[in-house]
């Protein structure tokens, strides 16, 4: 939990510093770019793969809504889960074009990360029973969370393998 808090504070500090400086945010070297890819994968296919991955990421809203309906969830936690679900749903409604080279998309990607970090802090500090439930369910392929995570991983692997193929020099079409 301490590491999560440090990460959150660092991210917020960076965002605040950038907002004051009015400069575009620095882009990590490993952040996916579609500008520097070869001809093995089309730009359209990369964007489609990235869009599918982002849709998969935001499907966590459905998992949170279903979890909030279950018995044994404290009312405060139920309210918080539904709030996070609405936040992810709102992100799904206003999802920008899947262009990792645009500031609009980078901001969107950063917001998703912050929302997940915020949810992790909530789980780790406010409701230990719910956090235990998340840890248990993530390893259960039949649970909503287990299915979500498996789908998310398939989507991530599909997109990153497309991106890797596009970056390789001597790939076969």
The token duo for 13 is 């500090």
The token duo for 111 is 């917001």
Contacts of 4 (CB under 8 A, 6+ apart): 117, 120, 121, 124
Q: Residue 72 CB: number of other CB atoms within 10 A?
A: 8
Indicate whether 113 belongs to any domain.
Answer: yes
Q: Which residue has the higher pLDDT, 150 or 14?
A: 150
Domain housing 85: 2-6+40-167
pLDDT at 18: 46
**pLDDT tier at 144, thresholds 50, 70, 90:** very high
pLDDT tens readout for residues 78-116:
999 999 999 999 999 999 998 888 889 888 999 999 999
Contacts of 112 (CB under 8 A, 6+ apart): 54, 57, 58, 88, 91
Indicate whether 173 belongs to any domain.
Answer: no
Indicate whether 22 belongs to any domain.
Answer: no
Over residues 143-171, the mean pLDDT reads: 84
**Residue 70 clears pLDDT 70, i.e. is over it:** yes
Q: Would you give the DSSP letter of residue 4? A: H
| Mean predicted lDDT score pLDDT of the chain | 81
Which residue spans within 48-124 are E strands per DSSP?
none
Indicate whether 108 belongs to any domain.
Answer: yes
**pLDDT tier at 77, thresholds 50, 70, 90:** very high
Q: How many domains does the chain have?
A: 1
């Amino acid at each position: 939990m301490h590491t999560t808090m440090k990460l959150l504070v660092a991210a917020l500090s960076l965002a605040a510093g950038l907002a004051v400086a009015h400069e575009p945010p620095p882009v990590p070297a490993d952040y996916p770019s579609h500008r520097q890819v070869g001809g093995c994968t089309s730009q359209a296919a990369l964007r489609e793969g990235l869009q599918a991955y982002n849709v998969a990421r935001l499907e966590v809203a459905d998992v949170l809504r279903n979890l909030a309906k279950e018995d044994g969830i404290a009312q405060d936690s139920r309210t918080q889960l539904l709030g996070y679900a609405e936040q992810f749903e709102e992100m799904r409604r206003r999802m920008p074009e899947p262009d990792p080279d645009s500031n609009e998309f980078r901001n969107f990607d950063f917001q998703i990360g912050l929302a997940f970090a915020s949810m992790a802090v909530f789980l780790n500090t406010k409701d230990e029973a719910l956090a235990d439930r998340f840890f248990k369910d993530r390893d259960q392929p039949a649970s909503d969370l287990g299915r979500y995570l498996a789908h998310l991983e398939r989507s991530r692997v599909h997109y990153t393998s497309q991106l890797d193929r596009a970056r390789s020099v001597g790939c076969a079409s």
